Amino acid sequence: PVPDDTDIIVRERPRTQRCVVLAVDVSGSMRGERVRNAAATVGALAAVLRDDPLAVLAFWSDAAMLLRLGGRVKPLSLLDDLLAIPARGLTNVAFPLEVARRELATFSNRDQRVLLLTDAVHNAGPDPRTAAAALPRLDVLLDVTGEHDLALGQELALAGHGRLYRITGHRDVAPALLRAFST
């Protein structure tokens, strides 16, 4: 027998649109090889979230918004902008988390999250745990290639209802992002 149209059932899983803010640490401790990790993260996210709202901000004791949520993602331009910022200054982890919270408030997507790429060596500004707790979800991509604060990274992820992923090189970024977005 030949099946007719009523015999065939197709199920498509509806894809929930994500709303992601990537906060990239560009403080003085993030020089050298760590810049590759940042570039790999920005490149991977820009490719994976092509149709989703993505914001990217670079931070040190201050912060620079490189891409606002809803803005057109131009991966190469975004990478150029990030790499043009010299690694400098102290690390205020609380400030980008507060900026990310305000940015997410402009969208009503169900799946909202912040990805924080940092060594978590917080040495300026208020305690970032409070800012992390105010986020819908915070996943920490902890760069462990040099000096880092594992305990603070874990506490931030816990307070932000997310997970911590250790990054030991630019090749760790894509698998960490896959794991982060599968949960």
Interval 39-87: pLDDT, tens: 888 888 887 787 889 999 999 999 999 999 988 888 888 888 988 888 8
Q: What is the pLDDT of residue 163?
A: 97
Q: Of 113, 121, 123, nearest to 161 (Cα)? A: 113
Parts of the chain with a pLDDT under 70: 11-15
Q: 174 to each of 57, 94, 150, 180, how far by Cα in Å? A: 19, 25, 20, 10
- Is pTM beyond 0.85? Reply is yes
Average pLDDT of the residues of the chain = 89
